[in-house]
Amino acid sequence: MIPLIEEFRKAINERDVNKIYSILKQANDFNPNYFNWVSDVFEKNEDKTALIWTDIQNREERKFTYRKLSAEANKLLNFLRKEGIKKGDPVYIMTPIIPEQWISLLAVIKGGFIGVPTAVNLTEYELNYRFKDLKPKAIIADEESAKKINVEAVKIVIGKREGWISYEKVLDESSNAEPETTKPSDEILHYFTSGTTGLPKRVIHTAVSYPIGHLSTTSFIGIKSEDIHLNLSAPGWAKFAWSSFFSPFIMNATVLGINYTGKLDPEKYLSLVESFNVNTFCAPPTAWRQFIILDLNKFKFPKLREVVSAGEPLNPEVIKIWENKFNLRIRDFYGQTETTAMIGNFPWDISEAGSMGKPSPMYDIRLLDDDGNEVGKGIVGHIAVKINKRPIGLFKGYSDEEKNKSAFRNEYYYTGDKAYYTDNGWYFVGRADDIIKTSDYRVGPFEVESALLEHPAVAEAAVVGSPDPQRWQIIKAFVVLKEGYKPSYELALELHNHVKKLLMSYKVPRIIEFVPELPKTISGKIRRNELRKLEEERRRKGEKGEYEFSIK
């Protein structure tokens, strides 16, 4: 075990605050010649329970020790190597919350491959874009996901599917495998994250950026080594790696994985939080809003110590209801796919409800005006990370150099978000660009607009977020029709269903307004910010457009 992790665990378990802050700063100096997180950290853990897995419907349960998970990962690694997969080869992982998700991540990191976690609800249209941008050498998928995949690669299915290799063949391999010799700068994870001026961006993380950078996330959550930790996030999104993988395993703790399909059953989910004696629990704001409208008298949570939220600001009234009932403050924290947790409420330093907390010592965070000048207390500014000394949790960069030029400027990484701070904490204001936050997902308007434009009736489209009390925002499309088409609810529903065939359900417009033209800049760029302000003002007044239609 590397000394940095040993010291960190001791400091967290003993809640030695000064030591924790010191280690978070020291982590930025971590730069060994070679580092493989699986062999250097994960496999050094004692032989205790690493993963408890259950299915919310049938209550099937499986347990894995650290040693057992490592053995299963070694089998998969050996199989992939036999199939010709080498260091630096992209391996897509597309499964629901099942043990093979953890096993695959371990095998990929230990083998020095590039893992590409992929959400199971991606459509074939969305998958094909990703495959064109980064062609897979191997894919590991469940049966349902495999139905949507049509690409040449080594394809392993958990179950059975014609033309795919059954995962059962993996189980015949040796449970011992040598780790790949990886350098700190080697790439191990790529994530696709939504952008506003193009299709999803590919975010590149290294052998240290997430594995060591998540010391910051672990600190904010407050996981201790004897804890059972639960995170309500689906695989394929960075938050799963944050809170279901690196953070608990850094602490040699136990992670609970609860598999559910379809719409979340909040009462059934909370009953499992109680019955499994969860100690630390992370859930997105959408889930917290569902939890607090339940009859909370049904639950006791005798072992629950820390509860956290991430993804978007959590309403203060939700925090208040939960705290009044259980005497536990839901603590917000902030980060991105491109980073680890950067700003948050530490368990020992909680800001007022509604604040996302204070910056982690790992990150030198500033608020800048539009000219790049630092702003002071109470003034809204761009959240930017000082990179003259690069924080270890910051990503290597995007695959697109034009996007790197935009994000990395004058010794700062611009997050694209805005905030302000007071003596009571930092407060999230919104996206500096046009990213839409809906039900804890980030949606880039460009890909929704692109899907709309594939319909023969659509001449132009602009997509913005419309304020919504449950989802924070919902997708609204302003549509200019081609000649010969007239606004109607029937046409709005047709456009809604058209997008639904191409994109994931949370990206589908719930409101469609037909307009004669879109506001544009002199250079012809659509002024989404103008449309967004119009929409926010209308919602505040309870008004709507002349040809506006809502689709349930």
pLDDT tens-digit series, residues 94-106: 999 999 999 999 9
Residue 38, both tokens = 């699986």
Alpha helices in 27-65 (DSSP H): 37-40
Rounded mean pLDDT, 445-449: 85
Q: What is the rounded distance in angstroms from the CA atom of residue 446 to the CA atom of residue 457?
A: 18
Residues 6+ positions from 132 with CB-CB distance below 8 Å: none
Judged against a pLDDT cut of 90, whether residue 460 lies above it is answered with no
Percent of the chain with pLDDT over 70: 98
**pLDDT class for 524, splitting at 50, 70, 90?**
low
Query: Which pLDDT belongs to residue 352?
Result: 84
Range of 46-50, 130-134, 471-475 with top mean pLDDT: 130-134
Q: What is the rounded distance in angstroms from the CA atom of residue 272 to the CA atom of residue 265?
A: 11
Residue 449, both tokens = 């607009």
Q: What is the rounded distance in angstroms from the CA atom of residue 493 to the CA atom of residue 511?
A: 10
- For residues 347 and 368, is the Cβ–Cβ distance under 8 A? no
CATH superfamily of 436-550: ANL, C-terminal domain (3.30.300.30)
Name the β-bridge partners of 390.
Answer: none
**pLDDT class for 521, splitting at 50, 70, 90?**
low
Rounded mean pLDDT, 62-85: 98
Best CA proximity match to 274, nearest among 252, 245, 302, 253: 302
- Give the amino acid at 245: F
- For every residue of 271-305, DSSP letters joined together read HHHHHTT-SEEEE-HHHHHHHTTS-GGG---TT--
From the CB of residue 61, how many other CB atoms can be counted at a distance below 10 Å?
Answer: 10
Query: Which pLDDT belongs to residue 441?
Result: 82
Helix (H) / strand (E) element for 273: namely: helix 266-275
Rounded mean pLDDT, 137-161: 97
Q: What is the rounded distance in angstroms from the CA atom of residue 127 to the CA atom of residue 326?
A: 42
Residue 69, both tokens = 């998970």
Question: When comparing pLDDT for 71 and 355, which is higher?
Answer: 71
Mean confidence (pLDDT) of the chain: 93
- Check for a shared fold between 3-422 and 436-550: no
Cα 487–chain centre separation: 37
Best CA proximity match to 251, nearest among 272, 283, 279: 279
Give the tens place of pLDDT for each residue, 242-300.
999 999 999 999 999 999 987 889 999 999 999 999 999 999 887 888 898 899 999 99
Q: What is the rounded distance in angstroms from the CA atom of residue 507 to the CA atom of residue 496?
A: 10
Q: What is the rounded distance in angstroms from the CA atom of residue 1 to the CA atom of residue 20?
A: 18
Convert 412-451 into a string of H (helix), E (strand) and C (coil).
EEEEEEEEEEECCEEEEEEECCCCEEECCEEECHHHHHHH
Cα 207–chain centre separation: 18
Best CA proximity match to 217, nearest among 385, 370, 335: 335
CA-to-CA dists, residue 78 to 107, 124, 169, 172, 319, angstroms: 9, 29, 11, 10, 47
Spell out a b/e string for 251-278, using b for 16 or more CB atoms within 10 Å of the CB, else e: bbbbbbbbbbeeebebeebbebbeebeb
Where in the chain are the domains? 3-422, 436-550
**pLDDT class for 472, splitting at 50, 70, 90?**
confident
Rounded mean pLDDT, 397-412: 95
Judged against a pLDDT cut of 80, whether residue 315 lies above it is answered with no
Judged against a pLDDT cut of 90, whether residue 330 lies above it is answered with yes
Q: What is the rounded distance in angstroms from the CA atom of residue 431 to the CA atom of residue 474?
A: 15
Region 3-422: CATH code? 3.40.50.12780
Q: What are phi and psi of 205, to 5 degrees?
A: -115, 155
The packing angle between helices 3-13 and 17-26, to 10°, is 150
Give the tens place of pLDDT for each residue, 354-367.
889 999 999 999 99
Q: What is the rounded distance in angstroms from the CA atom of residue 235 to the CA atom of residue 18?
A: 34
- For residues 106 and 42, is the Cβ–Cβ distance under 8 A? yes
Q: What is the rounded distance in angstroms from the CA atom of residue 357 to the CA atom of residue 350?
A: 7
Strands, E assignment, 11-158:
49-55, 61-65, 90-94, 114-117, 138-142, 154-158
Cα 248–chain centre separation: 16
Judged against a pLDDT cut of 90, whether residue 151 lies above it is answered with yes
Query: Which pLDDT belongs to residue 414?
Result: 96
Rounded mean pLDDT, 340-355: 91
